[in-house]
Amino acid sequence: GNSVTQMEGPVTLSEEAFLTINCTYTATGYPSLFWYVQYPGEGLQLLLKATKADDKGSNKGFEATYRKETTSFHLEKGSVQVSDSAVYFCALSHLLGGYSTLTFGKGTMLLVSP
Amino acid sequence: DSGVTQTPKHLITATGQRVTLRCSPRSGDLSVYWYQQSLDQGLQFLIQYYNGEERAKGNILERFSAQQFPDLHSELNLSSLELGDSALYFCASSVGQGTNYGYTFGSGTRLTVV
């Protein structure tokens, strides 16, 4: 089946540290991959996406590369800020009954301290 | 404000009761998706509608049902509620049926069953 596995959190970093959140997936076919972010008390927001192998998605200093050979889509940021504290969800698209839907990982909480 | 409106924000009800959650999609979006978020299960896809028609079903219990109306708003009905139904219920919308359009999420309805 289709599934997404993320590293368990919380990930605790100091401001300006380098961030990596690991994400691996299992899928049939060639899914698109996504990272969503959820700030406290809010819904999920699309952070970035990649639609085919070797694509790099990037937004707001975050980036992730679609690696088909390792079935991974790790999220990275060179220098995190306190305002990046949130829960990050990796997701993949797949067909369900002929229509594409998103399957999410369980989320990784990031806590950035000043 | 994401443009996706969910009401109510909070709901407390007793076991055995029935509730209705409402979602108004972002203007111009034709697809509506319902997700359940709980601590142990993460984000679980429930059901998808496109322009009034059901498109895909995920892990939706038989006690739950949904519909999308001609004005494109959607309602999720939960009946014979159990303690385990306590969760955050999110609605998301997108302009088309494919996941590459990206989903816009509402801020959710927190359901507590006591």
DSSP codes joined into one string, A20-50? EE-EEEE-SS---EEEEEE-TTS-EEEEEEE
Q: Residue B30: what pLDDT?
A: 92
pLDDT of residue B98 exceeding 80, the answer is no
A51/B contact by beta carbon, under 8 A: yes
From the list A42, A89, A103, which residue is nearest B45 (CB)? A103
Q: Residue A88: what pLDDT?
A: 97
Tokens of A82: 């306190």
Residue pLDDT, tens place only, A8-65: 889 999 999 999 999 999 998 788 999 999 998 888 999 999 999 999 999 999 999 9
- Residue type at A101? T
* Integer Cα distance of B32 and B92 in angstroms: 6
From the list B56, B100, B107, which residue is nearest A51 (CB)? B100
Tokens of A40: 């406290």
What confidence category does residue A75 fall into, taking pLDDT thresholds of 50, 70 and 90? Answer: very high
B58/A contact by beta carbon, under 8 A: yes
Q: Residue B80, by phi and psi: left (phi above 0), alpha (psi -120 to 50) or beta? A: left
Segment B58-67 mean pLDDT = 94
B106/A contact by beta carbon, under 8 A: yes
Pairing state between β A3-6 and A108-113: unpaired
Asked if residue B71 lies in contact with residue B90, where contact means CB atoms within 8 angstroms, the answer is: no
Q: Residue B1: what pLDDT?
A: 77
* Integer Cα distance of B96 and B109 in angstroms: 24
* Integer Cα distance of A57 and B102 in angstroms: 13
* Integer Cα distance of A86 and A82 in angstroms: 9
Q: Residue B2: what pLDDT?
A: 79
Q: Residue B99: what pLDDT?
A: 62
Mean pLDDT of chain B: 93
* Integer Cα distance of A91 and A105 in angstroms: 6
In the β-sheet with A62-65, what is the strand arrangement from edge to edge? A19-21, A75-77, A62-65, A56-59
Q: Residue A25: what pLDDT?
A: 96
Q: Residue B90: what pLDDT?
A: 96
* Integer Cα distance of A43 and A29 in angstroms: 29
pLDDT of residue B39 exceeding 90, the answer is no
Tokens of A65: 């590369």
From the list B55, B105, B108, which residue is nearest A99 (CB)? B55
Q: Residue B52: what pLDDT?
A: 94
